[in-house]
Amino acid sequence: MKTENPKAYAVLYSSTFAFMVCFVVWMMFGVLGIQIRQELGLSAFEFGLLTSTPVLTGALFRLPLGIWTDRFGGRIMMTILLAGCSVPVYLVSYSQQLWHFLVIGLFLGLVGASFAIGTPYVARFFSAERKGFAMGFFGAGTVGAAVNLFLTPILLESFGWRTVPKIYAIVLLITAVAFWFVSAPDPGAGKTTGRLADQFRILRNPKVWRYCQYYSITFGGFTALSLWIPQYFQGEYGLTLVAASALAAGFSLPGAILRAVGGGLADRFGAHNVTWWCLWVAWVCLFLLSYPDTQLTIKTLEGASTFHLYMPIWLFVIILFVLGAVFAFGMASTFKYVADDFPDNMGTVTGIVGLAGGLAGFLLPIMFGILAELFQIRSSCFMLLYGVVWVSLIIIYISEVRRVQISGEMVDPAGR
């Protein structure tokens, strides 16, 4: 068994912390936006535009950052990103108009795209048997979304919203310096050569598109539900905003942390096995969550009889937790696929797959709203995700399960 690079765990811990800080900053407008909306008198559409812009740009910039990571190395790219974004984040404090905040949102999107830097960077320090765990552990830095829900309101109450971006800008700078000294040079930097067009030839590989599909439902679905669930709890169960937000954080926090567990499972049982069974569990969960509160009247021998079918909140929370956990496992196993199949182009493929997941996280909440208005069924959001999971299961069956059955190929439990 290949031994790990002596700096492997220093790189893993420093990269994960840097990614968590980036995620806190990336989600900052989710809390600050409430007071910004009041100060500027923004409409609902303008408020939505303010909060969603970082999600969109966070998706779009994952691809170029992944490519540059292959060329220049993760240590250099992460340090530049952290230090460079501290300037516009600091300037949020002096913004006066909506377009100022939208421009800043582009830079917040850049820190969200740090995932495309850290994933290939961390993976290069670990042996094939431990790559899944390492990438899953790094991905757990998305816990920064939950940290933002707890930390930003405290800073807001203590110092006012215009001071919070200044604090986060200083934190970004300190993190950049600490990351540079704790991390190590990227052993894969500069190994990708040739023209940019040559790197994009990887798109001809159908495996890339399959992994984009898997990540669009695991990461995209997880992100979209994290944003959508608070108002769902309010509307469906009549909870207060505080209680609804607490339950939403309870969904986001375990799901983020369990990515490391998912990576370990992918190392042991193989990316295919973990992804396959996670999708099936998600399919069952979404089927149950999709069923709306129903009054069902049937004709019996003794006359009409009415049944009330509904999801009690305790059962809803349990199923939602399971769904978040399997989504987290699926996120980790997807990048185990990438590490196994594209070891020399991890930055590029990570960027492409991350782009697909980020775009799904941006588009799905919009589609949730359209379906709710069109059908007037609150659980239609779960119906949509149920359909997306069906598509993913069909793809993985045709491309992997059925192919192995027909050809008689033998695959060991680790998928190697």
What span, in angstroms and rounded, lies between the C-alpha atoms of 26 and 331?
19
CA-wise closest residue to 259 among 274, 240, 276, 241: 274
What contacts 200, CB < 8 A, 6 or more positions away?
348
- For 94-121, b/e burial (b = at least 16 CB within 10 A) is ebeebeebeebbbbbbbbbbbbbbbbbb
Q: How confident is the model at residue 414 (pLDDT cuts 50, 70, 90)?
A: very low
Out of 109-113, 168-172, 264-268, 284-288, least confident range:
264-268
Angle value at C-alpha 236, between 231 and 237, nearest 5 degrees: 100
pLDDT at position 227 over 80: no
What span, in angstroms and rounded, lies between the C-alpha atoms of 153 and 31?
7
Q: What are phi and psi of 329, to 5 degrees?
A: -60, -40
Percent of the chain predicted with pLDDT > 90: 14
pLDDT of residue 413: 41
What span, in angstroms and rounded, lies between the C-alpha atoms of 277 and 408?
21
- Three-class HEC string of 36-57: HHHHHCCCHHHHHHHHHHHHHH
pTM, 2 dp: 0.71
pLDDT of residue 101: 86
What span, in angstroms and rounded, lies between the C-alpha atoms of 93 and 166?
7
Q: What are phi and psi of 207, to 5 degrees?
A: -60, -35
Task: Enter the tokens of residue 379.
Answer: 């659980």
Domains of the chain (ranges, CATH numbers): 1-193 (1.20.1250.20), 199-416 (1.20.1250.20)
Residues constituting the chain: 416
Mean pLDDT for 182-211 is 72
Mean pLDDT for 119-126 is 86
pLDDT of residue 13: 92
Task: Enter the tokens of residue 103.
Answer: 């421009």
pLDDT at position 3 over 60: no
What span, in angstroms and rounded, lies between the C-alpha atoms of 317 and 400?
33
Q: How confident is the model at residue 12 (pLDDT cuts 50, 70, 90)?
A: very high
Out of 164-168, 335-339, 346-350, least confident range:
346-350
- 254-298 pLDDT, tens digit per residue, is 767 777 777 778 878 887 788 888 889 999 999 998 888 777 788
pLDDT of residue 44: 55
Task: Enter the tokens of residue 27.
Answer: 């989600």
